Amino acid sequence: MATVIEGKGGFRAWLNKRMPVDQFVADQLTGYYAPKNFNVWYFFGSLALLVFVMQIVTGIFVTMHFKPGEATAWNSVQVMVREVPYMWLIQPMHAVGASFFFVVVYLHMARAMLYGSYKAPRELLWIIGMLIYLALMAEAFMGYVLPNGNMSYWGAQVIINLFGTIPGIGPDLVEWIRGDYGIGDATLNRFFSLHVIALPFIIALLVMLHLVALRQVGSNNPDGIEIKEKLGKDGLPIDGVPFHPYYTVKDIVGVGLFLTLFAVVVFFAPTFGGLFMEPPNFEPANPVSTPDHIAPVWYFTPYYAILRAVPDQKIGALLMAASVVAFLFLPWLDRAKNKSIRYRGAASKILLGTFFITFVVLMWLGLKPADGIYVLLARIFTTLYFLFFILLPFVSKADGNGPVPDRVTYHAH
């Protein structure tokens, strides 16, 4: 009889001959040295991975009971949460999970901006991150349309019609995306297919590439100092610690905090005051009854505010596209020598701080009706938004070149 387990370590030896498991652990976990000064901002990469897996797992169960289509989608969601065991929990986990995904990804991106993690040699890592962000926006938008609530319907109407502003091909493109003259069965079925198969697959692939690119250059850190440049006698970075067990354990703390917060929201405030689930989406789609005020979910509203800040819809759509694409150019717009905001001057700190505030204010403005004072404010903050990207090359060049410490700053707890 061929024994797989030949005494102590037998199975492990058998496995390693066929798949380099130990080699992988040695290369990527115990032998991978990460900077020892990671702070809480470094939780969000692993948390993004966690939310992604959670969305896939809860999504598998939602898909089992969901019936895409104009006549069936809305009812199938109502039936699954009321009749199918545990779907009262799993369906809201999926819906709330979408918002948490964006909370985590926005904080993850903010961290990269604080510590200049997009700068050389991590430009490609940042670009792959931006591609994930774009794919995630498409994924979230389509998921939102699927249940065919009234805001799903009217939100999709507004967003898909934006493609109509593209000169020449616009109107045909809108019809091509919908697959019909209005949002109907064809639209809902193709969105289902893209939401459940194509986009998760693309996101998973991009996340893998993101991690491969990260391993190639190594993590940045709050000081923005390359730890690979200071090696000890053993050839290892003196400011690094093995990823496992140090950061696997630290990340578990982040996971615990995250899951606690997530559970509180799912159990006690799943709609989050209408921010995570909007009131009009508790009614089925009604093509003859527009919600009082159409707004996308909070994570899209900064861009929506920019779109509506301009009277001409074509220019508004162009500015909106530019406001997203602008992030792609950050590695080249930032001309400072130092990476981290810690070692940049006051002007850089004010510029970045103002940008973060601007983003949040635009988020709020996008949720408000586009009239009166809100329009004026949207115009002011849209200007501030673009000023960040315009001023960055000058400000970063002028005051991002001061002295940096020799070693990373680390205070033992």
Q: Which of residues 29, 49, 162, 236 is near ligand HEM by CB under 6 A?
A: 49
Instruction: Count CB atoms within 10 A of the CB of residue 371.
Output: 8
Q: Which of residues 32, 74, 118, 262 is near ligand HEM by CB under 6 A?
A: 118
Is residue 140 a contact point for ligand HEM (CB under 6 A)?
no
316 with 307: CB under 8 angstroms?
yes
Hey, what are 94's tokens? 């999926």
Q: Which is nearer to ligand HEM, 115 or 163 (CB)?
A: 115
Sole window of 2-10, 121-129, 140-148, 378-386 interacting with ligand HEM (rule: CB under 6 A): 121-129
Angle at 115 between CA 112 and CA 118, to 5 degrees: 50
51-90 residues in contact with ligand HEM (CB under 6 A) are 52
Sole window of 45-53, 85-93, 268-276, 383-391 interacting with ligand HEM (rule: CB under 6 A): 45-53
Sole window of 117-125, 273-281, 288-296, 358-366 interacting with ligand HEM (rule: CB under 6 A): 117-125
Is residue 191 a contact point for ligand HEM (CB under 6 A)?
no
Residue in the structure block whose two tokens are 């089992």: 64
Q: Which of residues 220, 323, 358, 382 is near ligand HEM by CB under 6 A?
A: 220
DSSP 333-365: H---S--SGGGS-HHHHHHHHHHHHHHHHHHHH
Sole window of 42-50, 227-235, 304-312, 350-358 interacting with ligand HEM (rule: CB under 6 A): 42-50
Range list of H helices, 115-240: 123-145, 150-162, 170-178, 185-193, 199-217
Instruction: Count CB atoms within 10 A of the CB of residue 193.
Output: 13
Q: Which of residues 61, 100, 102, 133 is near ligand HEM by CB under 6 A?
A: 133
Is residue 105 a contact point for ligand HEM (CB under 6 A)?
yes
Say how far apart CA 139 and CA 227 lie, in whole Å. Answer: 36
b vs e for 26-49, b when ≥16 Cβ sit within 10 Å of the residue's Cβ? eeeeeebbbbbbbeebbbbbbbbb
Q: Which of residues 55, 91, 117, 152 is near ligand HEM by CB under 6 A?
A: 117
Q: How many residues bind ligand HEM (CB under 6 A)?
A: 26
Is residue 333 a contact point for ligand HEM (CB under 6 A)?
no
Binding site for ligand HEM (CB under 6 A): 42, 44-46, 48-49, 52, 105, 108-109, 112, 115, 117-118, 122, 125-126, 129-130, 132-133, 207, 210, 214, 219-220
